[in-house]
Structure 1
Amino acid sequence: MTDTQNPNRAEVAFKVRVSAAELARARGSPAHLSNNSESRFRNPDGTRSLLANFTKGLPHIKETALVESAIDYDRFVRAIDSGDPRDFADLPLGPQGVEPRFTSGIASDPEVGTRAWESGGAGLVFDLEGPDAQAVTMPPAPELDSDELVAEVTECYWMSLLRDVPFPTFESNSHIQAAAESINNTQWIKFKNNPPAHLTAAERSRLRGPVTTANVFRGITPGDEVGPYLSQFLLVGTTGIANGNEVGDGFIQYGGMRMDQRVRVAKPHIDYMTTFGAYLDVQNAANVSGRELYKEEEPRFRFIHTPRDLATYVHFDALYQAYLNACIILLDIGAPFDSGIPFQLDNDIDKQQGFATFGGPHILSLVTEVATRALKAVRFQKFNVHRRLRPEAIGARVDRYCATKAPEFAGAAKLSEALDKELLQKVHDHNKKQNLLSDRGNPRANDFNPDGEVSEGNLLMPMAFPEGSPMHPAYGAGHATVAGACVTVLKAFFDGGYRLPFCYITDEDGTGLQAVEIDEPLTVDGELNKICSNISIGRNWAGVHYFTDYIESIRIGEEIAIGILQEQKLTFSENFSMTLNKFDGSTIRI
């Protein structure tokens, strides 16, 4: 037997790893800056109100739903900074020393337990590949009394009211038109053509609009405004084994099996957390997950047809699911790889094909590999830096200010008074209708306002999920960061200018797809950017994120993926390159 091992292999491998480590170290550590809301907003007695910060899970005051104790919050921050599980275990989770702990109709079931915080120490974890979780950063989130937040909250309220409008009807729908006009009337959108001098560079990069029925609630990356609202990768399937499927059937071949692109259909016109009692219980860590209602009559499954369907998709998706599907679809249609990737000539010329490297298995595994790195980086931003409150809590701040004008809510005055009054009336009427429903599957008799009256209309943010947001702060967004990272890998491997040979939208009831003609062709890059925006903004449709959570998070996801690709390139013997178009429209060559 011949020993073919290179005796110097271990030394060479060590040097490659050192080179990758040096590349990672050269990125440095950026300054992580928050908007200082924790110390800025105060109660009448001078104590911190934490009005603009994430406090979900800690005990809250029954009358205001503000956190009971700033000391508890400080202990929460110390646990985040230490990452020690014992520090988290010592925190108060929900109401302490009272029975029953939860009183609203949807949470009064004795089987309802508590929800714990999610991976609060993940941002402290080191990694052996790619940028360190703390080597990327996000600018400060919009402040509670900023013009930008007025636009974001306006958008969030409208999205909560429009979850059942089919995507293909957006351009002709009068409610979508009203939403576009309302958003355009915010000062932030008006800044687009004449930005004031005080805006930071980050804020200037987020200016957008004016919006129309053709682009409202879409992303702002290249391709987002081309063609249908939904990316083709969320609708179509593959031809599969022996051409057993049609692309328009919506089945994606997974080995010898196939996966259906259709989603479970939630009951339309049913929203959650629209009573103060339910909202308070959820802030107090009531675990009402899984109590949302779904259609029992046919169709029980359909293609993503409405924003509510998209919210269901992003409620249960398996982290990198959408991007793995997109990769399988691209491989199935024979989308070419980037021209700088080897082994693309005829077999008689190259004499080898891509597989373990520069082939299907390589890209299928790599597109998923970046996801965990993205999650760690965004967890540091969420927990350790910004601790931004979720839209559900913003809705409660607006509701309590408008209802009481209490001094502890004075920090929400500018936001509340700047919001579209007709929109707020629509939210009030919507919630009143929600709270009169009798088909929630739970008693509603205990859902009270703080003054003891049965809750009717209010300005709470209607939520697509009974449990509202996850148990971690809003900024950045996990879905969006993972989306930015996974899509960046795909854009690096595939020829971004390749034109997709199809364009589909959902049919009238969403049970099928229909081919449509469009003026401008759909490209790989455009539809990858669009699926990134669809998944990220899908979380906004659910009511759990803001626009800035999306746009700033996909940017750090992109940065993480580029760093991983740069380090991995050091490990190959082939001379190759990858050229990709970034979310801001610029081009980078790896």
Structure 2
Amino acid sequence: MQHNVNSPRSPGLPDASGGGPAVGVAEAGTAEPAPTNGAEGRVPVPSLDGRGFARRARGYRIRIEAAHRAYAEPFPRHRNNGEHEEPYLASYSKGLPHDEYGEVDLDAYALWNRALAEPSVDAFERVPRGLDDGRPQLNPLSAFGLDVEGPDTHGLLCPPAPRMDSPEFAAELGEVYWMALLRDVHFVDFDDAPALVQAAADGLSAFSGYAGPTQGGRVTPRALFRGTSRGDLAGPFISQFLLRDVHFGTHTIRQRQDTIEPVDYVTDFGEWLAVQRGAERDTERDYAHTRYIQTPRDLAHYVHYDQAYQAYLNAALILLTSGIPNAELLDAGNPYRTTRGQMGFATFGAPHILTLLAEVDARALKANLYQQYVVHRRARPEAIGGRIEVQMRRDPGRYDGLIHPELLESDALERTRAKHGTYLLPQALGMGSPMSPEYPAGHLVVAGACTTMLKAFFNEDCPLPDPVVPDRAGTGLVPYTGSDAGRLTVGGELNKLAANIAAGRCMSGVHARPGTYQHGIRVGEQVAIGILRDQKPTTHEKGTFGLTTFDGERITI
């Protein structure tokens, strides 16, 4: 590894090859004898002198080894699904000029491509906007930033998204349409299988490319919109970490949130076109009436206004103040799990995990935005809804072969047209989707990263006692009395939390599952594992981090 001339090697440190001290400075590292505190007991007192060289050498070696972990292997060859061709019908173009069909202006898209190839603030400022007062793009330059902890974000692989003409994409978008139709059904009613819930389960089972959770080979009301990891099917739909009180210092946070009216947006083609061009649209919030998350619309509302790592910070605080003894709560590798005379704090304790959640959030978002802007640049489901509306009503046949027939013939689309008068995908929020490409979902990459961090610190098999669900009004919590109430664990509810966040973004209409869930969450997982591997050598304790991946593999760091 070559040193940068602007960062000369400090004298007295090992060279970058991992060898011993530099020639001529070994004598400087000779340790002086440790002083004592008197002749009687001759108890050693830690020396403040003579040990600087050894510490500097160790710290330098740790940093070099971290760099080797990040850059020893060549970066993977990133591939998209091959849909980035004129007229860019399956590519992200929100906020740029569009014609009357919602197809992007090719000259504007050429400047967009150029800015992504030669990124700078000025290059992106030169890209034409669909509206002078339209919404700005979401931080595309962060995709090109670097980090000095964890894996390089350009070295993480996210497989190509399903093509728009594939049965897999038909199933993904079909699920988002069903989610929109069920936005105001209570989660506690899913198991009772009201007619619309059963229709959604049957409709998803009919898609040949569906890859979400099933029971006995079919989608059931119990499996509907849930995740595919251990614990996702146990207990209530909503994770306990989105319901229980959060004790934050002297504050107690009840997880009741403000509400929005049961109104769907962007169901008119003129409105849809304005939104594609970057129009800002408000969603009125009712701050006076609060309730716990109890419907898909509530969950969609939560994941629109949250800070990306908020749910996981809350989960950590819930666990840290749960009263569960450390011997049961902490991961088996935590060195303070059973100690009596000392406790973890800056290492293996509360400040350690809370800080890492914020660190991994920022790094996961950089990884996500690189994949979104540079590699895949996939159009949002909202945009594809416009293609469907053109194909089915405004200009039949214009997009023949572009969209899989299983989607065009699905019951979800017909129910949507009957309810709203168009085939557009109804949005839960007035502004529609965020100003960035769809794949992978940023909330999902952060979910994978933050839940992995939490699983590394806490015992995943620890039971979570006394599960709760919202009451019918949504203003209080009542005991969950299902037959599986005793099967809820820390790991299962963390997996469910990630799945809830994934579902909430799709229930908004801004992402599609399960592809973005299965791949995006693993990108975040790799970010967290890389940071943990960099963190472990910096601790003096001989503890470890153990966790179960979303694929079910148990690893120890």
SS at match of 2:252: strand
Kept after mapping to 2: 8 A contact 1:82/1:121: no
Q: What TM-score comes out, normalization by structure 2 length?
A: 0.87
Q: Which of 548, 554, 557 matches 1:587?
A: 554
Deviation, structure 1 residue 5: 6.7
> Residue in 2 aligned with 1:441?
none
Matched, 1:174 2:195: yes
Q: Which of 274, 287, 303 matches 2:292?
A: 303
- 1:55 corresponds to which letter in structure 2? S
SS at match of 2:399: helix
**Structure 1 394/156 Cα, relative in aligned 2: closer, same or farther at 3 Å?**
same
Q: Which of 497, 508, 522 matches 1:531?
A: 497
The superposition leaves residues 110-168 of structure 1 with CA deviations (integer Å, 9 ceiling, x where unpaired) of: xxx31011111212111000010111011110001100011111101111111100111
Which structure 2 residues correspond to residues 540-579 of structure 1 after superposition, within 5 A?
A: 540-547=506-513, 548-579=515-546
**Structure 1 416/280 Cα, relative in aligned 2: closer, same or farther at 3 Å?**
farther
SS at match of 2:547: strand
Matched, 1:16 2:62: yes
Deviation, structure 1 residue 365: 1.4
Q: Which of 433, 442, 453 matches 1:489?
A: 453
Kept after mapping to 2: 8 A contact 1:580/1:588: yes
> Residue in 2 aligned with 1:85?
121
Identical residues among aligned pairs (%):
41
Name the CA distance, whole Å, in 2 between partners of 1:4 and 1:346: 30
**Structure 1 324/396 Cα, relative in aligned 2: closer, same or farther at 3 Å?**
same
> Residue in 2 aligned with 1:29?
75
> Residue in 2 aligned with 1:139?
159
Name the CA distance, whole Å, in 1 between partners of 2:545 and 2:358: 18
Structure 1 stretches of at least 4 aligned residues deviating more than 3 Å after TM superposition: 1-5, 204-209, 404-408, 416-422
Deviation, structure 1 residue 418: 4.1
Kept after mapping to 2: 8 A contact 1:401/1:416: no
Which structure 2 residues correspond to residues 279-428 of structure 1 after superposition, within 5 A?
A: 279-288=272-281, 291-295=282-286, 300-333=289-322, 334=324, 336-347=329-340, 351-406=341-396, 408-412=398-402, 414-416=403-405, 418-428=407-417
> Residue in 1 aligned with 2:479?
515
**Structure 1 303/27 Cα, relative in aligned 2: closer, same or farther at 3 Å?**
farther
Name the CA distance, whole Å, in 2 between partners of 1:421 and 1:561: 39
**Structure 1 461/209 Cα, relative in aligned 2: closer, same or farther at 3 Å?**
farther
Q: What TM-score comes out, normalization by structure 1 length?
A: 0.82
Matched, 1:223 2:231: yes
Kept after mapping to 2: 8 A contact 1:154/1:419: no
Name the CA distance, whole Å, in 1 between partners of 2:419 and 2:278: 25
Kept after mapping to 1: 8 A contact 2:173/2:407: no
Matched, 1:473 2:481: no
Name the CA distance, whole Å, in 2 between partners of 1:207 and 1:141: 25
Name the CA distance, whole Å, in 2 between partners of 1:36 and 1:124: 22
The superposition leaves residues 474-505 of structure 1 with CA deviations (integer Å, 9 ceiling, x where unpaired) of: 00111000010000000011111000012111
Deviation, structure 1 residue 408: 4.2
Return 5+ residue gaps in structure 2 as ranges: 1-34, 36-46
Matched, 1:67 2:104: yes
The superposition leaves residues 490-546 of structure 1 with CA deviations (integer Å, 9 ceiling, x where unpaired) of: 001111100001211111111111102333310111000000110121100000000
Kept after mapping to 1: 8 A contact 2:334/2:348: yes
Name the CA distance, whole Å, in 2 between partners of 1:208 and 1:80: 46
The superposition leaves residues 217-274 of structure 1 with CA deviations (integer Å, 9 ceiling, x where unpaired) of: 111111111111000000011xxxxxxxxxxxxxx22111222201111112x01001
The superposition leaves residues 363-415 of structure 1 with CA deviations (integer Å, 9 ceiling, x where unpaired) of: 12112220011000011100001010001111111110011445542243x42
- 1:263 corresponds to which letter in structure 2? Q
Name the CA distance, whole Å, in 1 between partners of 2:121 and 2:264: 35
Deviation, structure 1 residue 587: 1.1
Larger Rg: 2
SS at match of 1:121: helix
Kept after mapping to 2: 8 A contact 1:51/1:409: no
Kept after mapping to 1: 8 A contact 2:214/2:220: no
Question: Does 176-185 or 355-364 show the bigger shift?
Answer: 355-364
Matched, 1:51 2:86: no
Name the CA distance, whole Å, in 1 between partners of 2:392 and 2:406: 8
Name the CA distance, whole Å, in 2 between partners of 1:125 and 1:5: 39
Name the CA distance, whole Å, in 2 between partners of 1:331 and 1:53: 44
SS at match of 2:478: strand
Kept after mapping to 2: 8 A contact 1:182/1:420: no
Q: Which of 255, 261, 271 matches 1:261?
A: 255
Which structure 2 residues correspond to residues 233-272 of structure 1 after superposition, within 5 A?
A: 233-237=241-245, 252-268=246-262, 270-272=263-265
**Structure 1 209/220 Cα, relative in aligned 2: closer, same or farther at 3 Å?**
farther
SS at match of 1:126: coil
- 1:582 corresponds to which letter in structure 2? T
The superposition leaves residues 536-590 of structure 1 with CA deviations (integer Å, 9 ceiling, x where unpaired) of: 2110000000001222111110011001101111112221222211101111111
Name the CA distance, whole Å, in 1 between partners of 2:204 and 2:222: 14
- 1:7 corresponds to which letter in structure 2? G
Name the CA distance, whole Å, in 2 between partners of 1:515 and 1:144: 44
**Structure 1 31/346 Cα, relative in aligned 2: closer, same or farther at 3 Å?**
same
Kept after mapping to 1: 8 A contact 2:213/2:227: no
- 2:311 corresponds to which letter in structure 1? A
The superposition leaves residues 63-121 of structure 1 with CA deviations (integer Å, 9 ceiling, x where unpaired) of: x111122x3212212212322010000010115xxxxx7xxxxxxxxxxx310111112
> Residue in 2 aligned with 1:44?
none
Name the CA distance, whole Å, in 1 between partners of 2:110 and 2:437: 15
SS at match of 1:380: helix
Kept after mapping to 1: 8 A contact 2:213/2:226: no
Deviation, structure 1 residue 37: 0.3
SS at match of 2:415: helix
Question: Does 126-135 or 401-410 show the bigger shift?
Answer: 401-410
Which structure 2 residues correspond to residues 431-450 of structure 1 after superposition, within 5 A?
A: 431=420
The superposition leaves residues 12-43 of structure 1 with CA deviations (integer Å, 9 ceiling, x where unpaired) of: 2211111111122234311110001012xxxx
Name the CA distance, whole Å, in 2 between partners of 1:571 and 1:205: 40
Question: Does 77-86 or 401-410 show the bigger shift?
Answer: 401-410
Name the CA distance, whole Å, in 2 between partners of 1:356 and 1:338: 16
Name the CA distance, whole Å, in 1 between partners of 2:257 and 2:89: 37
Name the CA distance, whole Å, in 2 between partners of 1:356 and 1:125: 28
Q: Which of 194, 202, 205 matches 1:184?
A: 205
Name the CA distance, whole Å, in 1 between partners of 2:123 and 2:214: 37
Name the CA distance, whole Å, in 2 between partners of 1:496 and 1:236: 18
> Residue in 1 aligned with 2:18?
none
Kept after mapping to 1: 8 A contact 2:167/2:406: no
Name the CA distance, whole Å, in 2 between partners of 1:231 and 1:259: 16
